[in-house]
Structure 1
Amino acid sequence: MNPIDLDKVLRETGKELRREVPVIIRRRQDEVYAALAELPMQTRTKQKHRFKKARKFMGATAAAAIIGVMSSAFVSPIMAESLKNIPLVGSIFKLASDLGLRTAEERGLVTEPNASVTHEGVTIRIPQVVYDGSRLSLAVKREGSGLIGGISDYEVVQEGENIKQIYQRGAITDIEMFVDGTSLYDYSGGKRPGLMGNPTSDPNAFLYQLTDYSYQGEGALTMPDQFLLTAKITLEGIEEPFIIDLPVRKSTDHIVVPSGETREWGGLKLTLEQLKLTPITTDLIVNIEQSSQSKEIDPQNLLYEVWDDRGRVLGLVAGMGVYNKDGQYQMEMMFDRFEETPDNIILKPFLPVFQDPTANSGLFAVDSNGEIVKKYLKDLEITIPVESASLEKLYDIHHN
């Protein structure tokens, strides 16, 4: 399953977003900022200059995953499978099959604020947070009596052309995030971090993830190395929203690998603009220029896989694609980390096969295993050599 465009979901359901910034957030902001100084942060940044060539990469969709109501239906592809058998929110990062989050737990990169707010006998708790400069993951736990159904459950009812979402008491009906007091809903610049939600097997637990797309440029709302994150969570049947302040610091180093390597096929010119590696996330930016001969190929239909040189495919975390002012299509994709340090990282673009090939849109064709049928574009593959010593030091994982 691909990441969900939550803004689109909100538009289709006709939901109106509340835009008033609670006064309580500003009132408490200075007090909470003081806690930032007590959080650990690594600031060493390593730069590598020019890596060459190309070949494999992991399935991404050009989804603009932003803000919205979260439910068990809104699942990023790597988290849906990884959280099936996790009984306790406090152990989500440690037990997830997302190797990046598991690594964060093992290396002590996770902050455990255990911040909570209680209204009408119901408590919302945030027990764990981790931020590596690319993505921020936080767990949300619900406690209390008189709760019906799961924290992310709702029923969709269609009445003629209208679609309604029906929530039981205690279910999340709205989630709004603030970065240093600025709402992701209301940011006037338009470009902002993405927010996704992922359910767990615990009906009272949910995992949120903010992704900071670095290519958005001037005027974008970004997550700096340290900031105040405020979560405003509204539950059905509880009048007052739950407002929780969390001082956040980046807890990892990173390596930036500028590339500029290009490949051409079918009137498309693909450029790998940047590769950024943290102990948690593999972050890539690609740029696509389209000539007049390629008008029948929509750059938004071009998807990607990331592989290591042992044939292992990275799990997709999030992705966003936009057209820039020059008409070029830029896409940033975040994947899991590598299990072991590879000698080469391989970007492998492909086109999904549609059930109706003549329409070149609509539903994807799937194989007997339920996987998307793919047309790999070998001429666009890019292989990136890796300086193993630097990456091994960055990962710094000692196996027993």
Structure 2
Amino acid sequence: MNPFDLDKELRETGKELRREVPDIIRRHQDEVYASLADLPMQTRTDHQYHSKKIRRFVGATAAAAIIGVMSSAFVSPIMAESLKNIPLVGSIFKLASDLGLQTAEERGLVADPNASVTHEGVTIRIPQVVYDGSRLSLAVKREGNGLIGGISDYEIVQEGENIKHLYQRGAITNIEMFVDGTSLYDYSGGKRPGLMGNPTSDPNAMLYQLTAFSHLGEGALTMPDQFLLTAKITLEGIEEPFIIDLPVHKSTDQIVVPSEETREWGGLKLTLEQLKLTPLTTDLIINIEPSSKSEKIDHKNLSYEVWDDRGRVLGLVAGMGIYNKDGQYHTEMMFDRFEDAPDTITLKPFMPVFQDPSANSGLFAVDSNGEIVKKYLKDLEITIPVDRTSLEKLYDSHQ
């Protein structure tokens, strides 16, 4: 299932972006700021649930049939598919295919705020949060009577050229996040954290993720090491939105490795500018610029994999790319953590192969296993060394 483009939804419904924090949210925030100094870290389990056949993704994310760089945030379909098979809501992080979230659960990095708000007999609860300075993950759970369908369910109805989304009572129709009182919607030009949502096997639970992209430059909305996150969640059939404040603390250390390794091919100059490692996430910043007018390739279709020195490929978490004034394309890619600390890391750019080889768009070609066919660009490949001892210490620091 493709990610759900919340930005597109907002444009279609004509909802205006607000520049001021509503009074109701400000009152909630003022009451919670005092608790920023102390955020408990513990794990939690919950009950077993059954799967639900219809789900949707909610988030400021772009959809793609292949994992590649896009103009807004996106989420790995592999991670999304695995989340749908998770039987225990309280153990979403531990049972996800994302090794970073498993690590967070196992090593006590997950905060258990168990914050909740109730309106008209329906409760929205946030039982788990984890933040490593690169990405913030939180579980959202719905409880109550008189609910129809799942929290992420909707029906698509087409009337002529118009398409409508129909929601049953209790389904999420809108979610807005505030970082220290500033809405992500106020940064609709792209200079903001990425927001995406994934369904789980529990029809009453969603997993949301904010990604703190560090390459956005001046004027961007950033996520500091400590901040107040406000979630404003609107459910169908419930008049008042659910507003929940969460004091957030970064719970891990990080290693930053400057690179500036450069490769040129096909009219492109590719530079791996920086590598950032946490016990949960592997974060790369890549810059692309034209190097010549001949043999140009379309970098919009350029995608990446990250391999360790034993040939293991990391799962993709999220990514965002933006153009700067000089026509350069800055991309930040967040991948899963490594299973164990490698000596070297290899960035492998590739192009997807289309069913029509003469086209630069359309359907992708797939192999006999249903995997997208990739053309690896060996001349753009970059391998950099890693201080294995330091990375092992980082990975083991929270055991």
Alignment TM-score, normalising by the size of structure 1: 0.88
Alignment of 1:187-198 (within 5 A): 187=187, 190-198=190-198
Which shifted more, 79-88 or 345-354? 79-88
Runs of 4 or more, structure 1, over 4 Å off, are: 1-5
* 1:294 to 1:163, Cα distance in 2 relative to 1, 3 A: farther
**1:102 alignment partner in structure 2:** 102
How much does 1:88 deviate? 2.7
Amino acid at match of 1:253: D
Paired residue secondary structure (1:283)? strand
Which shifted more, 180-189 or 156-165? 180-189
Contact 1:5–1:64 (CA under 8 A) maintained in structure 2: no
Q: Which runs of 5+ in 1 are unaligned?
A: 42-58, 67-73
Contact 2:266–2:295 (CA under 8 A) maintained in structure 1: no
* 1:4 to 1:357, Cα distance in 2 relative to 1, 3 A: farther
Q: Does 1:348 align with 2:356?
A: no
Contact 1:343–1:385 (CA under 8 A) maintained in structure 2: yes
Percent sequence identity is: 84
Alignment of 1:84-233 (within 5 A): 84-187=84-187, 190-233=190-233
Amino acid at match of 1:86: I
Paired residue secondary structure (1:326)? coil
Aligned residues, how many? 374
How much does 1:294 deviate? 5.0
* 1:237 to 1:107, Cα distance in 2 relative to 1, 3 A: same
**2:68 alignment partner in structure 1:** 61
Paired residue secondary structure (2:293)? helix
How much does 1:138 deviate? 0.3
Amino acid at match of 1:251: S
Alignment TM-score, normalising by the size of structure 2: 0.89
* 1:393 to 1:279, Cα distance in 2 relative to 1, 3 A: same
Contact 1:269–1:290 (CA under 8 A) maintained in structure 2: yes
CA distance in 2, matches of 1:40, 1:254: 20
Q: Which runs of 5+ in 2 are unaligned?
A: 42-65
How much does 1:94 deviate? 1.4
Contact 1:252–1:279 (CA under 8 A) maintained in structure 2: yes
Contact 1:2–1:61 (CA under 8 A) maintained in structure 2: no
Contact 2:354–2:362 (CA under 8 A) maintained in structure 1: yes
CA distance in 1, matches of 2:212, 2:136: 8
* 1:156 to 1:222, Cα distance in 2 relative to 1, 3 A: same
**2:303 alignment partner in structure 1:** 303
RMSD: 2.1
Amino acid at match of 2:312: R
How much does 1:18 deviate? 5.8
Contact 1:4–1:63 (CA under 8 A) maintained in structure 2: no
CA distance in 2, matches of 1:192, 1:333: 15
Larger RCO (CA under 8 A, 6+ residues apart) = 1
CA distance in 2, matches of 1:209, 1:177: 11
* 1:167 to 1:79, Cα distance in 2 relative to 1, 3 A: same
- 1:67-91 Cα offsets, whole Å, 9 max, x none, are xxxxxxx963242133133223211
- 1:22-74 Cα offsets, whole Å, 9 max, x none, are 31221232321111101279xxxxxxxxxxxxxxxxx74123445xxxxxxx9
Paired residue secondary structure (1:83)? helix
* 1:83 to 1:110, Cα distance in 2 relative to 1, 3 A: same
